[in-house]
Amino acid sequence: MNQISAEDRNRLCRAAREVAAHSYSPYSGFRVGAAVYDGSKIYVGTNVENSSYGLALCAERAALCNAIASGAKEITAIAIVCIDAKQDSSISESVPCGACRQWIAELSPQASIIICGQEESFSIQDLLPFPFSIQKSVSG
């Protein structure tokens, strides 16, 4: 797991909070923001819901898509915040869902996962000890 400075951690959580305000979450009322860092640039995403629930897009996946589409190579940190979570809520209300954990495992396996408001950072192995994986084939 990559280590991240307190200053970068704060910048990432601030960016995640700012983008969460743009969430489209009329069904859950659960506004989430994510900020992905590649060591030099921050990429953000927020959750976008749909009345066909399975078509919703989580903030973490939106931020990862933003980073990949922008050419980011090595994701070193991901910060996640739900601006509607109660101060005394369980951390289980703020960690990435299973689909997002799988995305993180494949696209940023060494990233520090920051749940804004929590002191410790997590690795994807902490949150998803046995991710699905297949060997990538090399054609040529």
Q: If one looks up domain 6-127 in CATH, what number appears?
A: 3.40.140.10
Residues marked active site are found at 60
% pLDDT > 70, the chain = 97
Instruction: Give buried/exposed letters for 86-120 (b at 16+ CB in 10 A, else e).
Output: eeeeeeeebbbeeebbbbbbebbeebbbbbbeeee
Query: Could you state, in order of their start, the residue ranges of all structural domains in the chain?
Result: 6-127
The model's pLDDT over 17-38, given as tens digits with 9 standing for 90+, comes to 999 999 999 999 999 999 999 9
Q: Is the pLDDT of residue 69 over 90?
A: yes
- Whether 16 contacts 94, CB under 8 Å: no
The reported pLDDT for the residue numbered 135 is 77
Q: Residue 140's pLDDT band (boundaries 50, 70, 90)? A: low
The reported pLDDT for the residue numbered 87 is 81
Q: What is the pTM of this model?
A: 0.93
pLDDT (mean) for 57-83: 97
Could you tell me which residue, 135 or 27, shows the higher pLDDT? 27
3 state DSSP class of 59: helix
Q: Which secondary-structure segment (H or E) carries 33?
A: strand 32-37
The reported pLDDT for the residue numbered 138 is 65
Phi, psi dihedrals of residue 48, rounded to the nearest 5°: -130, 115
pLDDT (mean) for 87-104: 92
